[in-house]
Amino acid sequence: MRRTDRLFDLIQILRDGRLHRAGEMAERLGVSVRTIWRDMAALMASGLPVEGERGVGYILRAPITLPPMILTGAELDALRAGVRMVAEGPDPALARAARVLATKIASVTPAPPEADSDDLFVFTGKETNRAAAHVPLLRRAIRSRQRLTITYIDPEGRESHRDIRPLALDLTGRVWTLGAWCEHRSGFRSFRVDRIMAIGETDETFSDRPGQTLADYRAHLAGER
């Protein structure tokens, strides 16, 4: 039996919420007790809510039914953060889909002890709240290749007005970033969406030009790292 299959079977055994001894699980899976010890250590290190120790037994303290996907605490936080932000955003279709997804996630993963029935897992921040109003328009402009004008405040508080070709939206932590070709600077720029004060739509569209495409933008970012 491959280790991946064995870990999956161990999760299935533990899903009943009862205490299981290593010897019992070893007999069921046809492996040694030492192998079970190593496998349980791996499951616990992955973030699965398992408690126990050698000679006592192991128990799954909270139900989780996303096998064979085992998410760490940090990965669950990232998933919850994204769902929460979209569910509270201004795009109605995405907000509805996010709330349905949140219900599904809540039914198969252990929610934080402090969460109430309407908690979509994590708090939002001022950055996501400020950016939220712009995200649907920017997403639409990227899809339709629509030129935009933006009013932007840089980290030093200086205001500027830019004509841009929007190429990509990225989310890192709580911060939305817009990747674009800036006509004023004749180069790629990354704009924090929460620092965009206003967006003006135009009737102009743009087409790919050598050196100014999304692939070129990604390569530009990779070169900066």
pTM for this predicted structure: 0.47
Domains of the chain, CATH where assigned: 3-60 (1.10.10.10), 73-124 (no CATH), 129-224 (2.30.30.520)
Answer for the pair 193, 131: CB distance below 8 angstroms, yes or no.
Answer: yes
Tell me the average pLDDT across 80-86: 78
Tell me: pLDDT of 88 over 80: no
DSSP the chain: --HHHHHHHHHHHHTT---B-HHHHHHHHTS-HHHHHHHHHHHHHTT--EEEETTTEEEESS----TT----HHHHHHHHHHHHHHHTSS-HHHHHHHHHHHHHHHHHSPPPTT--TT--SS---HHHHHHHTTHHHHHHHHHHTEEEEEEEE-TTS-EEEEEEEEEEEEEETTEEEEEEEETTTTEEEEEEGGGEEEEEEEEEE----TT-SHHHHHHHHHHH-
Q: How confident is the model at residue 22 (pLDDT cuts 50, 70, 90)?
A: very high
Tell me: pLDDT of 59 over 70: yes
Which residue would you say has higher pLDDT here, 50 or 68? Answer: 50
| Bridge-based pairing state of the strands 57-60 and 159-172 | unpaired
Q: How far apart are CA 73 and CA 122, in angstroms?
A: 13
Q: How far apart are CA 80 and CA 78, in angstroms?
A: 5
